[in-house]
């Protein structure tokens, strides 16, 4: 995200909610620190994780009823539906004043920083060479005039099991999960053998419940009307709950629904009534979460900012410091040991074969010393490269294990320079002012959350009491003080 785009995002967030006035500015401070340390490139901004509008994503397997659910929610048949996969692209739905839906190519999303797929073609190219140029084969933008879509974006995924383009599909799905303010994960009650979907369950359940924003995921067992003939919804739900529990999901809300428009007729009126009541109750809860996504989004933006600053302060910096310290110690020890051994061998050889003539002895000594320095320098370069590779490999493993987006390997390479004995101990690009800058971001997040609470709560219960949202102090001035 460019600085121009970031400035526009800051203005947009301020108009959306005055409490978010300093959010984009705080992202700039986080980026400044990360860029100085070498954790991100010049063209990257952590604010890229924030969409201009709240994002609700629909994830799940093929034919799990995602598109039908969207049509029911919007009250408009904007998405194609069917028992088989009818759309193999990710569809971004947004509001438009035009009464008729419009379909735009994926490049409309890739080139617009306001949408959550800005420059996604780069990530596709990294996942599969050549796929970045086929952005229209993966994405499309659809418009709809439904009032339920105003002020938010809905993303409909094509399904999880696209093997020929699996790496690219996974890359896009991961991106969607990261930027979503609410994620609805759909499973199909018509397939009562969840054990056959272990890969899907692992990715959509096991890899999400450990996230700090795991509360944004709603797990939905759709098309429950197909179980009415046997009247065994409890058994179907129990089978899925056991499968989800095997992947770590033992808590949280598990919804069971079906579409009123395309449901299977239920002849037994008592069974039909029971199914409708359960469906309507769960649909009300799901729709309620979708309608209040703007509120949850404000908290999520601040929580994302707070998490990024905490990752920098309590995870990334300690990991980098430990690795760089270990690297320096190894290189210095190797330098000292090899120098002592080489000097000892040189001295022994010199005194063993010392020539009787003084001039010859001096010339021989100078030659041996020069040879010592040349050999020792080569040995130093070898060990420096060896320990640098070991440190980078360790950080790559830690980055993957901790699920961090910061490029710690890139930052480490800024510190893994030859002759560490003659360099400053602290991390390259770090200074004491940055520590105060991170602390101020923490304080800004806390104050912003308190102001959000004042907007939506009134613990004292005093009638007529209203919160007056004041802008937060300028972060640059706060840090300088």
- The model carries a pTM of 0.74
Residue 314: what pLDDT? 92
Residue 282: what pLDDT? 92
Residue 52: what pLDDT? 80
Is pLDDT at 84 greater than 60 in this prediction? no
Give the residue, 196 or 136, on which the prediction is more confident: 136
Reported for 20-24, long-range contacts at CB under 8 A and 24+ positions apart, including other chains, are 20/298, 20/301, 20/302, 20/448, 21/471, 21/472, 22/444, 22/448, 22/471, 22/472, 22/474, 22/475, 23/50, 23/301, 23/302, 23/305, 23/448
Instruction: Judge whether 476 and 336 are in contact, CB under 8 Å.
Output: no
Q: What is the pLDDT of residues 188-236, one digit of tens each?
A: 877 655 554 556 666 666 666 677 777 888 889 888 887 777 777 777 7
Among the ranges given (103-107, 136-140, 377-381, 424-428), the one the predictor scored with the smallest mean pLDDT: 424-428
| Average pLDDT for the chain | 79
Residue 480: what pLDDT? 41
Is pLDDT at 479 greater than 50 in this prediction? no
Is pLDDT at 364 greater than 70 in this prediction? no
Kindly indicate the confidence band of residue 270, based on its pLDDT and cuts at 50, 70 and 90: confident
Could you give the percent of the chain with pLDDT greater than 90? 12
Q: What is the pLDDT of residues 418-469, one digit of tens each?
A: 765 555 667 888 888 888 889 888 888 888 888 888 887 777 776 655 544 4
Closest among 189, 188, 271, 263 to 228, alpha carbons compared: 271
Is pLDDT at 274 greater than 90 in this prediction? no
Residue 405: what pLDDT? 81
Is pLDDT at 1 greater than 70 in this prediction? no
Residue 476: what pLDDT? 44
All structural domains of the chain: 1-42+307-481 (no CATH), 51-291 (3.40.50.300)
Residue 141: what pLDDT? 92
Instruction: Judge whether 48 and 123 are in contact, CB under 8 Å.
Output: no
Is pLDDT at 402 greater than 60 in this prediction? yes
Residue 12: what pLDDT? 74
Kindly indicate the confidence band of residue 472, based on its pLDDT and cuts at 50, 70 and 90: very low
Residue 469: what pLDDT? 44
Q: What is the pLDDT of residues 13-23, one digit of tens each?
A: 777 777 777 77
Is pLDDT at 390 greater than 90 in this prediction? yes
Distance (Å, whole) CA 200 – CA 63: 14
Instruction: Judge whether 440 and 479 are in contact, CB under 8 Å.
Output: yes
Distance (Å, whole) CA 410 – CA 425: 18
Could you give the percent of the chain with pLDDT greater than 70? 79
Residue 441, CA distances (Å) to 130, 264, 296, 306 in order: 40, 54, 20, 7
Residue 470: what pLDDT? 43
Query: How distant is the alpha carbon of residue 282 from its chain centre?
Result: 29
Residue 57: what pLDDT? 92
Kindly indicate the confidence band of residue 353, based on its pLDDT and cuts at 50, 70 and 90: low
Residue 194: what pLDDT? 52
Residue 55: what pLDDT? 92
Is pLDDT at 304 greater than 70 in this prediction? yes
């Amino acid at each position: 995200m460019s600085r121009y785009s970031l400035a526009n995002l800051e203005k947009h967030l301020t108009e959306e909610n005055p409490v978010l006035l300093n959010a984009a500015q705080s992202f700039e401070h986080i980026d400044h620190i990360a860029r100085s340390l070498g954790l991100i490139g010049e063209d990257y901004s952590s604010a890229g994780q924030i969409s201009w509008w709240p994002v609700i994503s629909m994830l799940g397997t093929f034919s799990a009823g995602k598109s039908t659910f969207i049509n029911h929610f919007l009250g408009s048949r904007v998405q194609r539906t069917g028992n088989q996969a009818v759309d193999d692209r990710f569809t971004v739905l947004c509001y438009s004043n035009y009464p008729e839906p419009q379909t735009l190519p994926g490049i409309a999303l890739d080139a617009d920083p306001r949408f959550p797929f800005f420059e996604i073609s780069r990530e596709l190219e990294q996942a599969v060479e050549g796929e970045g140029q086929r952005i229209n084969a993966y994405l499309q933008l659809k418009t709809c005039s439904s009032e339920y879509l105003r002020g938010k974006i809905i993303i409909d995924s094509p399904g999880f099991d696209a093997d020929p383009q699996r790496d690219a599909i996974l890359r896009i799905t991961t991106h969607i999960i990261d930027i979503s303010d609410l994620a609805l994960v759909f499973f199909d009650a018509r397939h009562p053998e969840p054990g056959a979907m272990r890969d899907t369950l692992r990715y959509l359940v096991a890899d999400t419940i450990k996230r700090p924003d795991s509360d944004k995921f709603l797990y939905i067992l759709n098309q429950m009307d197909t179980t009415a003939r046997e009247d065994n919804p409890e058994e179907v739900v129990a089978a899925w709950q056991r499968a989800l529990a095997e992947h770590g999901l033992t808590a949280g809300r598990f919804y069971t629904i079906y579409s009123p428009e395309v449901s299977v007729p239920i002849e037994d009126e008592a069974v039909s009534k029971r199914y409708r009541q359960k469906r309507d109750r769960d649909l009300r809860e799901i729709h309620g979460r979708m309608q209040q996504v703007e509120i949850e989004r404000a908290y999520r933006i601040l929580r994302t900012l707070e998490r990024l600053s905490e990752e920098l302060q309590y995870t990334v910096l300690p990991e980098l410091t430990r690795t760089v310290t270990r690297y320096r110690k190894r290189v210095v020890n190797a330098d000292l040991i090899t120098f002592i051994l080489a000097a000892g061998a040189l001295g022994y050889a010199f005194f063993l074969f010392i020539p009787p003539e003084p001039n010859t002895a001096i010339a021989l000594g100078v030659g041996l010393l020069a040879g010592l320095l040349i050999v020792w320098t080569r040995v130093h370069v070898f060990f420096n490269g060896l320990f640098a590779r070991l440190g980078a490999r360790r950080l790559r493993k830690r980055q993957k294990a901790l699920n961090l987006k910061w490029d710690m390997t890139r930052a480490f390479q800024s510190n893994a320079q030859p002759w560490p004995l003659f360099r400053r101990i602290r991390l390259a690009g770090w200074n004491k002012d940055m520590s105060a800058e991170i602390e101020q971001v923490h304080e800004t997040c806390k104050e912003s959350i308190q102001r959000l609470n004042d907007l939506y709560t009134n613990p004292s219960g005093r009638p007529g009491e209203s919160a007056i949202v004041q802008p937060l102090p300028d972060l640059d001035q706060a840090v300088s003080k």
